[in-house]
Amino acid sequence: MIIRGKGYALWDDKGREYIDGASGGVGAVLIGHGVPQVIRAMTDQANKLCHAHISLFANEPQVALANLIIEEFAPAGMSHVYFVSTGTESTELAVKLSRSYHLQKGHATRFKIICRWNGYHGSSLGALSYSGRSVRRHKFHPYYFNTSFMSPAYCYRCPYEKTYPGCGLMCAWELERVIQHEGVDMVSAFIGEPYVNTAGALGAPPEYFGIIRRICDRYDVLMIMDEVITGWGRTGAKFGINHWGVVPDFICTGKGIASGYAPLAATLVHEKVLKVLEETGESCEGYTYGGNPLSCATGLAVLQYIKDQKLVERAAEEGEYFQERATSLMEFPIVGDIRGKGMLLGVEYVEDRKSRKPFPRDKKLCEMITDVAFQKGLVTCPISSGANGVEGDATAIKPPLTTPREVLDKIFDIMAETLEEVEKHSI
């Protein structure tokens, strides 16, 4: 039973302290727990107005937050922000707006979303339809709408059994083949994450998203980037896609935008899309808490704190140390790969390094590692089934951007103790 949090630390009802190496469990608490400036902003707004639906009113925090995002954080060309409550809603809104875009252009047959295996874009039935996280999809197939899948950019387990850079980025060019096979007049959008959290911080080669962008432009397919985990400095850039120098048509974001202090997410829309949508003036956004003034006031305080404290820059600087420090875990034979960017890290485990054979799923290795680390006072995220949709184990570590360096060291000390214990007594 958790009762209190401050900075990077959590305390349970027995008084035991934990390092929050998962930022609230799912990477949300970007700036740490209990920041006074945010709490004051929440209290001030609660004393003024907590809710008024956007179908009737705009509100000051909503407008101020949108302006701050566009002026200080969004890539050039992103001109509008729709506020929702969860990352799931933000990706679904991008899918809906993509459909509206093509309808407005007279392309009524364009509806298919192309997504990547291992990607994860939300827990609703709609979002699971275009999520490739196999372990979360299995129960609900009768309810999914028709989507298409392509291989992920997974250099450690290349689906083409190639090695970068000699691979020719076949995983990126696969998008063009899928579009052609489905029919150019059938595809609406591509969706992907710059770093796939549920595959253990899985990134992509430097040329990858540039190729994806060119293919999307060639076929008038909209490019949706899911930055629910990777936005607002997590990877050492304002948005993860910035590392590739690419501007998408939509950025879907959540979690860190309000750092877990209130439910808030957003869909950022490029002016290219808005020019088409504004011809009708129609909108498909009708969420009860979209643009909620209390949530937006919280998000405004969080992003202002990130800006004032230069946390994006700090995540880049400390992130280099964080990633370098993580390589120490390679001394353990069960660690097959270390990857990530900034303050987002993935550690993938293998039964045999040479063959990269994953552990059998029934061993539940990543859950075991998470449990042992938890007993030692470190909260991490277990990642299962990433290798092939059935097997595979990894740990995601993503502490708050404010975590001191000595605590980062402590994270890896605990991880080393954990892996030593697991290897000695359980494998």
pLDDT of residue 284: 63
pLDDT of residue 138: 86
169, amino acid identity? L
Query: Mean of the per-residue pLDDT values for the chain?
Result: 96
pLDDT of residue 285: 65
Helix (H) or strand (E) holding 284: none
CB neighbours of residue 161 within 10 Å? 7
**What mean pLDDT do residues 113-123 have?**
96
pLDDT of residue 283: 64
pLDDT of residue 233: 98
Read off the pLDDT of residues 223-260 as tens digits, 9 standing for 90 and up.
999 999 999 999 999 999 999 999 999 999 999 999 99
Q: Which two tokens stand for residue 41?
A: 């902003």
Cis, bond preceding 165 (omega within 30 deg of 0): yes
Beta strands 148-150 and 78-84: pairing type? unpaired
Asked whether residue 282 carries a pLDDT value surpassing 70, the answer given is no
> Do the Cβ atoms of 153 and 117 come closer than 8 Å?
no
Read off the pLDDT of residues 61-107 as tens digits, 9 standing for 90 and up.
999 999 999 999 999 999 999 999 999 999 999 999 999 999 999 99
Q: What is the pTM of this model?
A: 0.96
- pLDDT band of residue 395 (cuts 50, 70, 90) is very high
Q: Is 15 helix (H, G, I), strand (E, B) or coil?
A: coil
Domains in the chain, start-ordered, CATH in brackets?
2-31+310-426 (3.90.1150.10), 37-308 (3.40.640.10)
Report the share of the chain in percent with pLDDT over 70. 99
4, amino acid identity? R
265-270 sheet: strands from edge to edge: 78-84, 265-270, 250-253, 222-226, 187-192, 112-116, 148-150
Beta bridge partners of 83: 266
335-341 sheet: strands from edge to edge: 335-341, 344-349, 393-397, 381-384
Asked whether residue 426 carries a pLDDT value surpassing 80, the answer given is no
